[in-house]
Amino acid sequence: MELPDEEVFSSGNTEELFEIKEMLGEGAFGETFKVTYKKTGKLCTLKKLHFQNEQEINNAKQAILNLKQCIHPHIIKFIGAWKISPKEIWIATEFCEYGSILNTYEIVKHGLSEQQLSFVLRGVLEGLIYIHSNKKIHRCIKASNILMNDNEDICIGDFFINEHERDADDQIQFTSNSPYWSAPELMKDAPYDFKVDVWSLGITAIEMLDGKPPLSGVHPMKVIWLISENPSPLPLNPEKYSPELLNFITTCLEKEPNKRSSTEELIQHPFIKKYESANFDVLQPLIQEMKSIKSKNKEKPSKLKPHQISQNDSEVDEQIQSNQQSDSKDPDASAPKQQAKTQTKSPAKIKAKQSIKIQSKPNTKVETKQPAKTQAKTPAKPQAKTPAKVEVKSSSNVALKGKKK
């Protein structure tokens, strides 16, 4: 049943409601901005989402309504949504200054300690218990969606929550969204319930230790098959971790849903109880390390002069990626997504892109004047890299096109 607009959207002129501070990033469905909400004077995150058809709009409306109904300390605070045009929607949520757990990992280059991980998992579990008690499934638990908010707590962000009763098409859409975090039953088109969030939490626990989910280097379409066929994964170097932590992960990653623990059971798990006195202070060393690295990176002069561009494409990519925030490294970035990323690239990335575009012509002219060098370099790059890149990208788009979230 189609939801009436007045049940979902707020009123008001959006240009008068928000003052844009900076662009945080962009995703398959739109852009994300850091803005000031003039009504309160507080910072918030604004997503400008663009859709292609009525079905996508209706899915977004249902997700917005569900988010409006989920009011909990461990769920990102919803501010409002506005329908700008028949195919454009703006959504405002609280701004999380410290970003996501994935963003933190990308900056500090190491995973969480067991105490930090236990604290983060406890916050996510409390949020999921609330969601499940309201007959909803989150369906998109991963490190890029676990945020550290200004109230010094953990909250779940970037929702795509649907009601417990769904049709078969809805299951297919989820399978194509984030296969790396998806439960085996989703890969088999089997009936599923709230336990799919528990599986995703187990994969996310590994991600918060290793910086990436298992099978992250494998093409999404192959992952769909491997998750069903492979044994349940463990972190890299499992010998480094306590028996309690490893047991928590294996409990989440039980392949049979009826044997998999519920969120209510997991919050009583020995690994969670072991550090139940921990609070947000356990994350402060991580936050301070992240701030220090960011500050040093700002002070470092660019290796490339304003009028130059690197002759090596991978060097440029590395510079851009080093400034990119949380969701830029999601393994499923090539798969269709139903919402824009919350924490993605920084202004530095935007500037880098602009620099590349501006300097591409001068760089080409220099290379054409030196045919000997050009001929020496050309065979290695196009023949070694280009075909593989084109082939993977194409197969992902074709294979997953019919399975939108």
Q: How would CATH label the architecture of 13-94?
A: 2-Layer Sandwich (3.30)
Same fold for the pair 13-94 and 101-283: no
**Distance (Å, whole) CA 154 – CA 148:** 5
Q: Rounded CA gap, 405 and 388, in Å?
A: 27
Is 260 in contact with 199 (CB distance < 8 Å)?
yes
Q: How far apart are CA 296 and CA 312, in angstroms?
A: 25
The string of DSSP codes covering 121-168 is HHHHHHHHHHHHHTTEE----SGGGEEE-TTSSEEE-S---EES---H
- The confidence score (pLDDT) of residue 53 equals 87
**What single string gives the DSSP state of each residue in 262-324?**
PHHHHTTSHHHHHTTT--GGGGHHHHHHHHHHHHHHHHSPPSS-TT---S-HHHHHHHHHHTB
The reported pLDDT for the residue numbered 301 is 55
Name the nearest CA neighbour of 107 among 348, 337, 303: 348
Domain parsing of the chain, residue ranges: 13-94, 101-283
Task: Please give the Cα distance from 398 to 405 (Å, whole number).
Answer: 15
Q: Which residues contact 239 (CB under 8 A, 6 or more apart)?
A: none
Instruction: Of 58-67, 108-117, 353-362, give the range with the top mean pLDDT.
Output: 108-117
2-39 burial: b if 16+ Cβ within 10 Å, else e: eeeeeebbeeeebeebbeeeebbbbbbbbbbbbbbbee
pLDDT at 62: 84
**In this structure, are residues 361 and 164 in contact, taking their beta carbons and an 8 Å threshold?**
no
138-191 residue pLDDT tens: 888 999 999 999 888 999 987 653 333 334 344 434 444 489 999 999 888 889
Write down the pLDDT at residue 378: 42
pTM of the model: 0.71
From the number of C-beta atoms within 10 Å of its C-beta (0-12, 13-18, 19+), residue 220 rates as buried
For residue 55, what pLDDT is reported? 83
Q: Are strands 18-27 and 42-50 parallel, antiparallel or unpaired?
A: unpaired
Q: Express each pLDDT in 320-336 by its tens digit.
A: 344 444 444 556 544 44
Band of pLDDT at residue 78, cut at 50, 70 and 90 = very high
Q: Which residues contact 111 (CB under 8 A, 6 or more apart)?
A: 105, 117, 208, 209, 210, 211
d(Cα 253, Cα 182) in Å, to the nearest integer?
Answer: 11
Mean pLDDT of all residues in 66-87: 92
Q: What size, in residues, is the chain?
A: 405
CATH number of 101-283: 1.10.510.10
Strand partners, 20: 35
- Burial of 115: CB neighbours in 10 Å, binned 0-12, 13-18, 19+: middle
Q: Over 50: is that where the pLDDT of 309 sits?
A: no
How does pLDDT run across 107-130, given as a tens digit for each residue? 999 999 999 999 999 999 999 999
The fraction of the chain above a pLDDT of 90, given in percent, is 52
pLDDT tops 80 at residue 15: yes
Determine the average pLDDT of the residues in 343-368.
38
Question: Measured between alpha carbons, how far is 25 from 326 in angstroms, rounded to an integer?
Answer: 10
**Helix, strand or coil, per DSSP, at residue 34:** strand
What is the amino acid identity at position 255? K
- Confidence class for position 319, pLDDT limits 50, 70, 90: very low
